[in-house]
Chain A
Amino acid sequence: MNHDPEQLAAAYLSGMRSRACRRFEDHLLACEPCWQEVSLARRGRQLAETARDAAPAQLREDIRAAVTAAATNPAPGPRPLRRSLAAVAIAVAVLAGTAVSVRPWPYSRPASAAPPAVIAAAVTSYRDGSLPGTAVPAEPAPNLTPLHLRLAGAAAGRLDGVAVTMFAYSTPSGARLTLVRSSQPFPEATQARELAGTDDAWTVRSGGVTVICAQGTHAMLLLGTDAALVRQAGALLNAI
């Protein structure tokens, strides 16, 4: 079997999807190189986990004092920290009798069933036929001509704050496909489902647009209304 034990073991120990995990565990029983990779890395993980440190109890109080001082007396420039904590403590002690209004921050937002903002922005961009900027991409456009997809536009820019490179393609019959690349991983949509036969690719259908996401060396989104074409493009790019 032609495979990379290091890559497989790394993905396995970092949480493969259940189906891929079961497949790899079957393989693991018969493959000594993979078994050695997993054993060694698992042992390294066990060792690393022993090095956790609890923050000293005083640290929380120091943080409270420093943030309270910053909230009541914002000062530009470098801030003294522990080395002048006595001064901060004195300031807090002086303010102790005063009602201190600190903005309530931060809180965790409740989970939403809506697609993550960057995915929604990619879908909107596809539907509108727009590109996220005017900068010329530094990387060449992938060749999708075997699928009769010709490059119609390319740009580098931002989608919901995420730096992306985007390539728009179309076929002679008018079918469109958009490829979005980023060095940051794309968040998984709540309604996403695993793509059969892949380790970590997922797909979701949003507003009639099929989205396939593959998180390889670079994260990639493929979008189009023709689900089969999107899938074929993913296979051609070795993304799925």
Chain B
Amino acid sequence: MRATLRHADLLHTLALRLAPHPADAADIVQETYLRAYAAWARRRPDDVGAWLATICLNAGRDELRRHARRSVVFYDGPVPDLPGRADTAEAALERLGTSRVKAALWGLPESQRIAITLMDLCGFTAAQAAAITGAPRGTILARVHRGRKALALSLRDEHRPASPRAPR
């Protein structure tokens, strides 16, 4: 149990890209652990993180389907990270910037958003992301690349990089 809880941040990050409301994301993560617990006796994965992410992705899609069946829309996009009273001015600006990035992520097609989340936010390799989503590795690479470009273009004037022209 303790070994799997270290993946909670990763799963929470992934769940938040599947259902932007924090409470729904928390539900998805809990459901992931319950499904994983139930499946553990049947299958011992070599790559626990990727295995949990696969379950999380399926749980998130189920959650989205449940939402789609409801006639009432509870939210329409990401919940913004509003600055709290304790934030310094710099931290508040940074949080607002992060909110824009999160909103821009929601503007991407789902396949690109998932690919970027798995590779750039969760740290999976292209091969792992391919195994998690069931898409070929080349497709994952194309999705993540196009998503990154779209993200950069949509936030062109924010977070200007200061790095000099140098590879990687």
Contact = CB atoms under 8 A, between A and B. Distances in A.
Interface stretch (B31-39, B68-76, B83-91): B31-39
B148 A50 contact: no
A27 B125 CA distance: 24
Interface string A5-16: 011011111110
Nearest to B10: A55
Interface in B113-166: 116, 119-121, 125-127, 130-131, 134-139, 141-142, 144-153, 155, 158-159, 161
Given A47-B152, A49-B121, A59 B12 contact: yes
Interface residues of B, number: 67
Contacts, number: 183
Contacts of B4: 105-106
A152 interface: no
Contact of A107 (B3, B9, B161): B3
A145 to B, nearest CB: 27
Contact of A55 (B23, B29, B48, B138): B29
Contact of A183 (B33, B134, B159): B134
A45 B22 CA distance: 23
A6 B135 CA distance: 19
Interface string A46-67: 1111111111100110111011
A28 interface: yes
A64 B3 CA distance: 12
A6 B26 contact: no
A163 to B, nearest CB: 10
Interface residues of A, number: 62
B81 to A, nearest CB: 9
A187 to B, nearest CB: 8
A132 interface: no
Which 8 residue pairs across A and B have the least CB separation, nearest first? Answer: A44-B148, A10-B145, A55-B12, A44-B152, A44-B151, A48-B120, A43-B152, A41-B148
Interface of B: 1, 3-5, 8-9, 11-13, 16, 22-23, 26-27, 29-31, 33-34, 36-38, 40-41, 44-46, 48, 97-98, 101-102, 104-105, 116, 119-121, 125-127, 130-131, 134-139, 141-142, 144-153, 155, 158-159, 161, 167-168
Given A50-B159, A107-B48, 10 more contacts: A48-B105, A50-B97, A51-B121, A53-B9, A63-B30, A82-B23, A102-B1, A106-B36, A185-B136, A219-B137
25 contacts: A7-B141, A12-B168, A13-B145, A15-B126, A25-B167, A38-B167, A41-B145, A41-B148, A45-B120, A47-B158, A48-B105, A48-B120, A48-B148, A52-B13, A53-B12, A63-B33, A66-B30, A70-B37, A82-B23, A105-B1, A105-B4, A183-B136, A185-B137, A187-B127, A219-B136
